[in-house]
């Protein structure tokens, strides 16, 4: 498999979701799971997560107590947001690419912090996001790219990530 795509879209207080293998062909049939969600409860969980992440100690490390609390809140999010079927599949899945396709309303959720009971989604999977919008995307607002590309590459801001630094150099040389 080339990876998985987890599609989640909101409709009122209901989330409709499917987990598909990434493929070059569009599936002729897909199963949709529904979960009813309390967005007030979600806001409280996210507030707790933000509080913990902002309590980091020196050198950008989160202390062990806060990591334990982050795991608890991440697991509560995992249980509240996903259907039983999808939770089971994600728990059983080995390391693979996982793309989250969510609508704008759900894009603010800290999906990376969902905790399966074994690991955070951002550590278990090569995680990416795709946002679905209901707004008309005006092509006039998209900037035109021209060569040479100009970009800022931050690969090793603290000077202690040798492999990250080398990867940054490779990207620079590629451009």
- Please, are residues 19 and 6 in contact by the beta-carbon 8 Å criterion? yes
**For the chain, percent of residues with pLDDT exceeding 90:** 55
Q: What is the pLDDT of residues 108-137, one digit of tens each?
A: 999 999 999 999 999 999 999 999 887 776
**Predicted structure pTM score:** 0.75
Sheet containing 33-36: order of strands = 33-36, 14-21, 4-11, 97-103, 126-132
Q: In angstroms, rounded to a whole number, what is the distance separating the alpha carbons of residues 68 and 75?
A: 11
In the predicted model, what is the mean pLDDT of residues 151-175? Answer: 82
- Supply the pLDDT for residue 163: 83
Confidence band for 69, pLDDT divided at 50, 70 and 90: very high
Q: What is the pLDDT of residues 36-62, one digit of tens each?
A: 999 999 999 999 999 888 876 555 667
Top mean-pLDDT range of 21-25, 50-54, 102-106: 102-106
Q: Which residue has the tokens 């806001």?
A: 43
- Supply the pLDDT for residue 23: 76
DSSP 143: P
Cα radius of gyration rounded to whole Å, the chain? 19
Q: Is 168 a residue whose pLDDT tops 90? A: no
Q: Is 158 a residue whose pLDDT tops 60? A: yes
Q: How far is CA 84 from the centre of its chain?
A: 19
- Supply the pLDDT for residue 162: 83
- Please, are residues 69 and 45 in contact by the beta-carbon 8 Å criterion? no
Provide CB contacts within 8 A for 62, sequence distance 6+: 52, 53, 55, 56, 70
């Amino acid at each position: 498999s080339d990876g998985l795509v987890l599609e989640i879209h909101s409709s009122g207080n209901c989330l409709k979701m499917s987990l598909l293998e990434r493929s070059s062909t569009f599936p002729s049939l897909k199963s949709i799971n529904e979960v009813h969600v309390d967005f007030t409860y979600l806001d409280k969980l996210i507030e707790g997560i933000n509080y913990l992440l902002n309590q980091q100690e020196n050198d950008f490390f989160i202390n062990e107590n806060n990591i334990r609390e982050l795991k608890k809140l991440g697991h509560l999010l995992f249980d509240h947001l996903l259907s039983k079927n999808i939770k089971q599949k994600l728990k059983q899945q080995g390391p693979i690419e996982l793309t989250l396709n969510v609508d704008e309303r759900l894009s603010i959720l800290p999906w990376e912090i969902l905790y399966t009971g074994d690991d955070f989604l951002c550590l278990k999977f090569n995680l990416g996001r795709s946002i679905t919008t209901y707004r008309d995307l005006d092509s006039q607002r998209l900037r035109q790219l021209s060569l040479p590309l100009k970009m800022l590459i931050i690969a090793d801001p603290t000077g202690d990530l040798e492999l990250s630094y080398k990867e940054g150099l490779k990207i620079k040389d590629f451009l």
